[in-house]
Amino acid sequence: MRFTSLAFLLTWLGQACEPGNQLPDGPGEMTVQWTGSVDGSMTAPASATWCEVQRLLEIRSIRGDTGIALALYPTRKPTAGSYPILEPARAESLPPAAGVAVRWLARNVVQGFRGDSGRLQLERSSSGKLSGQLQARARSVVDTQRIRLTADFRNLTPRPDTLNCTPVDTTEDAGGAGDTMVD
């Protein structure tokens, strides 16, 4: 079973926000703002990676302890157009769609939110660079807080994902129980 979704996005954001794991500076940039139970914003370098095997485009932006990750699931390849924002597990299984996760360090806790509705408009230039706009609603992963997200990204050159891009294992145990991962 494929399981990229929210757990992966929030785990990745947690690891990426550790010192020494910042995105390289480059021409790609993202600006994100959120309002609701908590207000905030961030502008930072951004990157895009494409995994052909999983048909997954990941767009990430990090500044300090704050980060946002978009997971786009196109039908075949990332193409310009509108992608509905769904909860991450649904986005993965209903392409074309997108998932979003955002996190930041609050006073005493890491705040994590996942998108559950909205739209991502993706644009692709003749040189292959990606730009886009996001409008989404998101809910906290630990309580009832809700926020509205808006984001703009530009000048992203998708690069092949050589680290996390692995074939999806769709085989299941003949008994239907699946792999218990116990040896």
Q: What is the mean pLDDT of the chain?
A: 83
Q: Which residues are within 8 A (CB) of 59 and not within 5 positions of it... i.e. 6 or more apart?
A: 30, 46, 47, 48, 69, 70, 72, 130, 153, 156
Domain boundaries, the chain: 5-156
pLDDT of residue 111: 92
pLDDT of residue 93: 92
Sign of the Cα pseudo-torsion (136, 48, 28, 83, in order): negative
pLDDT of residue 168: 61
pLDDT of residue 94: 94
- Answer whether residue 183 shows pLDDT above 80: no
- Answer whether residue 107 shows pLDDT above 80: yes
pLDDT (average), residues 131-160: 96
CA–CA separation, 83 and 86 (whole Å)? 9
- Answer whether residue 172 shows pLDDT above 90: no
- Answer whether residue 149 shows pLDDT above 70: yes
pLDDT of residue 38: 85
More confident call, 22 vs 119: 119
pLDDT of residue 181: 43
CA–CA separation, 66 and 105 (whole Å)? 7
98: helix, strand or coil: strand
On the CB side of 154, CA atoms within 13 Å amount to: 3
